[in-house]
Amino acid sequence: MSQTKTWWKEGIVYQIYPRSFNDTTGNGIGDLRGIIEKLDYIASLGVTIIWLNPVYDSPNDDNGYDIRDYRKIMAEFGTMEDFDELLSGMKERGLRLIMDLVVNHCSDEHKWFKESRSSRDNAYRDYFHWWPAENGTPPNRWSYFDVEENAWKYDEQTDAYYLHYFAVKQPDLKWENPAVRKEVYDMMHFWFKKGVDGFRMDVIPFISKDTSYPEINATEPHEYIAYYANGPKVHEYLNELNTEVISKYDAFTVGEGPGISIDQALDFVHEDRKEMDMFFHFDLMSLDRAPGEVFKMREGGYSLVEFKKVFSDWDAAFAKAGWGSLFLANHDFPRSVSRWGNDSPEHWKNSATLLHTFLLTMRGTPYFYQGDEIGMTNVCFTDIEDYKDINTINRYKTVQNRGGDLEAFMQSEQHAARENARTPMQWDTSANAGFTSATPWIKVNPDYENGVNVEAQLKTKHSVLSYFREITALRKAHPALVYGDYECIRPEHDRVYCYTRTQEDQRFLILLNFSDEVERFSLPLSLSYNRKIKLISNDKILDDKTFKEFLLRPWQAIVYKLEN
């Protein structure tokens, strides 16, 4: 079947982490009015959809992913009136909004959980997963953020354990209870009626549990994650969610998909299944992690051949049905230019713009994280006191309690930590990069003083920011870059990523040099064309006059249109 054209397939998504975007109240924390203040800037980037990280009322144990009230705005971020003004401002500029849907778990301060833990016969008791202590120790479950890596927390009040796949303050909701599902659907209708355009659904494959809580054959984190993502009723619940809510609006959903393997992909996003529209897979995010590890970096980094294979395999999975998402970073992972490029002063600009070129010339919906457009880099904190993230802090305690190597842990965190993405947006060269007039909630990356800021790049003709605007315009101008067939050229080449995008009589050639050296690259004889027209390049072209042979500068990206 051919791909149906939709606005969300053609969209370019810009993710905003409100806490770190722009502070207008002088408390060191970004807010909704800070986003309103920058809407013209956002629209000027050429993006079309904004993904907003959680802005709901929360005690902030996990920076908003522990929700206390799904229908109230976090006081630090503003009011519901601010939200309504923000949404109206987006609509005026032709921008669409997707919210973060966090419904695998909520906060232990949510009314539902406070009632649930109050007594075993409370009406809300069955909103969560409880294991009576008289039944002994509950079967082992691994937790992402628990210091002991134990997903069961003993609660003395009712002499029982509750399940939390994440932090102890994030109890898992019991989707097996129809009342819980109805609460979720009603809440989603609330936001849709306000005018939002969809949801990014946090760890959505985890919502279904086997409530007999069997012992499972798992010892490594990735084995537990695969189990969590394959609950007995996950597809039933996702189909119901779509039927009861999503199908009633011109909206789309993108799921966070840890544990979903490539052979399961279409089970979640094939159009006929009516579950989700797309999801974020984690094959790329594990590419530079140690075997079996979720957070620890592997020695030696990643290879380009592996990188190509991940994208080529997933493109093939969605070539005829379903749809893919494209991302290199977000709030949970390090900065893309530091992770997949080279952020040294010599190669930073070309690396950042090469990665922009890649995402905007591949098939799938591209997602960018705030600051990508100016090439923001990893901050690489060396002191545990600089970290605010529960993930880093609790894993530090785990290593410490087990007598592990804290120095090695901190060295890995410099490159792996989520905090690398969460430093404040860099607007100019004033104090705190123009993010706040107060002490920021987390330290600012000092490289804002060296050209990595919006103001400086707006004044520079050939900046990372100006290139980002050009390449978003290029994608919009050529639907073949959205829907066209993808073919990887010379997949075995370990320095140059080359591919074509083809739709009917439109054909494009993309050349990306993922290395610090000048590379000579030859096209195979099987790729035929009579003429090539350069559409964009992030650097001056050394030599492309020889037929089917190219001399590429370090981290150079070139897009050609091919003509027969």
Q: Tell me the pLDDT tens digit for each residue of 498-529.
A: 999 999 999 999 999 999 999 999 999 999 99
CA distance 325 to 78: 31
Instruction: With beta carbons less than 8 A apart as the criterion, state whether 72 and 59 touch.
Output: no
**Alpha carbon of 176 to those of 104, 158, 255, 421: distances in Å?**
12, 21, 19, 35
Q: What is the pLDDT of residue 546?
A: 84
Segment 243-298, tens digit of pLDDT: 999 999 999 999 999 999 999 999 999 999 999 999 999 999 999 988 878 888 88
Q: What is the average per-residue pLDDT within 117-123?
A: 98
Measure the N-to-C terminal CA separation of the chain; round to a whole number of Å.
27
Point out which residues pair with 536 in neighbouring strands: 559
Q: What is the pLDDT of residue 1?
A: 45
- Max intra-chain CA distance, the chain: 79
- DSSP-H helix ranges across 344-428: 348-359, 390-401, 406-416, 419-422
The catalytic site residues sit at 202, 256
Segment 420-452, tens digit of pLDDT: 999 999 999 999 999 999 999 999 999 999 999
In DSSP notation, 18-71 reads: GGGT--SSSSSS--HHHHHHTHHHHHHTT--EEEEPP-EE---TTTTSS-SEEE
CA distance 89 to 79: 15
List the domains of the chain with CATH numbers: 7-106+178-469 (3.20.20.80), 111-163 (3.90.400.10), 483-563 (2.60.40.1180)
Q: What is the pLDDT of residue 216?
A: 94
